[in-house]
Amino acid sequence: MKAILVREFGGPEVLKLEDVPTPKPAAGQALVRIHAAGVNPYDTYMRAGAYAQKPKLPYTPGSDGAGVIDAVGEGVKKVKPGDRVYTAQTLSGAYAEYTLVLEEHVHSLPATIDFRQGAGIWVPYGTAYHALYHAANAHASETVLVHGASGGVGSAAVQIAHAMGLTVFGTAGTPKGLELAKREGAHQVFDHRKAGYQEEILRATGNRGVDIILEMLANVNLPHDTKLLANHGRVIVIGNRGEVTINPRELMARRASIRAFTLWGITPTEEADVHAGLIAGLENGTLRPVVGKELPLAEAARAHKEILEPGAAGKVVLIC
Ligand code: NAP
């Protein structure tokens, strides 16, 4: 089969398309014929060797894929050959024509969701769902600011929060991203490249502040976020690319908090919650993964370069 291999940590150019043996599922595993693989920012940090988890070299990147079950190992009951599925973590990497997955990490893909969309479920929607339900304990009567609403996690968060009944504010850095955030359910949108946009957000709440901020770039925004919160507000740190200084007094005055997580630390109970909620939302049409860019598997290096550039518009996926 064809697969992307990383033989050394480095820039996007270390992602090489190679011919490798097709794996065989052992007991408790399924082999999935991957039709599309989701590209997530963490894939780029891992490839650079800069992520907390360092895979053993060589490795094939990718946790998020969608396709059809090709074969199952002994004892597998949840899926059978021919089933349409999405993956949430893989054993052998999703940037490939076939990938091995533990039975518990493969989930039924609703008939209305195509493979390209299915490649954008686990990390973006799982993160957005976990952030709103588990980390923020969001309530329908609250206001959420999705700080970075044009990308994979942000567009998912806008759809989920809208469906939960929250008042949703979203930010983006381009007209296309602002349009996307509005279309996917943000009640008001703000340009995070425009000077003074934070004051516009505060005014839009009648100077009360927002209850929840889902933060995609904490190292840039956290000091301002603490001033945008309402009493008992919560910032949920999802994305961060550096260090930052804040004034804790802003939190004290509001009895506010900053919470943070990585999706990898999710408990089995939370994970079951996430998939049940997401599959229901995908089936009833409230959740509709937005594919912004699709590239052939061979262009994984280009995908890794472009996902870190400004101007997000939904998910970047590789067609395998
Ligand atoms: P993405 O699709 O590349 O989107 C990046 C988003 O960040 C875009 O909406 C972009 O907006 C926005 N952004 C750029 N500059 C910003 C600024 N100054 N203020 C606010 N937002 C800004 O990435 P993603 O998949 O959504 O992931 C977002 C971040 O969360 C990444 O850093 C990723 O590593 C992290 N993440 C963490 C977890 C976790 O477990 N904690 C899980 C998934 C993702 P424009 O392009 O429109 O400017």
Is residue 77 within 8 Å of 101, Cβ to Cβ? no
Instruction: State whether the beta carbon of 233 lies less than 6 angstroms from ligand 1.
Output: no
User: pTM for the whole thing?
Assistant: 0.98
The answer to whether residue 215 scores a pLDDT higher than 90 is: yes
Contact in structure between 216 and 152 (CB atoms under 8 Å): no
Find out whether 81 and 73 touch, Cβ atoms under 8 Å: no
* Separation of CA 217 and ligand 1 centre (Å): 6
Distance 229 CA to ligand 1 centre (A): 20
The answer to whether the CB of 147 is under 6 A from ligand 1 is: yes
How many angstroms separate the Cα of 4 from the Cα of each of 80, 248, 280, 299, 315? 26, 45, 33, 10, 19
Per DSSP (E only), the strands in the chain are 2-6, 15-19, 29-39, 65-72, 84-87, 98-102, 106-108, 143-147, 167-172, 188-191, 210-215, 229-237, 257-260, 291-296, 315-319
Which of the 8 DSSP states describes residue 216? Answer: S
- Is residue 137 pLDDT above 90, yes or no? yes
Apex CA 152: angle with CA 23 and CA 84, to 5°? 40
What is the model's pLDDT at position 35?
A: 98
Distance CA 305, CA 44 (A): 8
DSSP per residue over 101-113, as a string?
A: EEGGGEEEPPTTS
Q: Is the CB of 41 under 6 A from ligand 1?
A: yes
Protein residue with least CA distance to atom 32, ligand 1: 239
46-80: pLDDT as tens digits? 999 999 889 999 999 999 999 999 999 999 999 99
- The share of the chain scoring above pLDDT 90, in percent, equals 99
Q: Is the CB of 148 under 6 A from ligand 1?
A: yes
239 with 261: CB under 8 angstroms? no
Which of ligand 1's atoms lies nearest the C-alpha of 310?
46
pLDDT of residue 53: 87
The reported pLDDT for the residue numbered 112 is 95
What the block records as the tokens of 290 is: 């937005």
pLDDT tens digits, 89-127: 999 999 999 999 999 999 999 999 999 999 999 999 999
pLDDT digits (tens, 9 = 90+) for 272-318: 999 999 999 999 999 999 999 999 999 999 999 999 999 999 999 99
CA pair distance 48, 62, nearest whole angstrom? 14
CB atoms within 10 A of CB 288: 15
Residue 21 pLDDT more than 90?
A: yes
Q: Is 154 in the pocket of ligand 1 (CB under 6 A)?
A: yes
Give per-residue pLDDT as tens, 177-200.
999 999 999 999 999 999 999 999
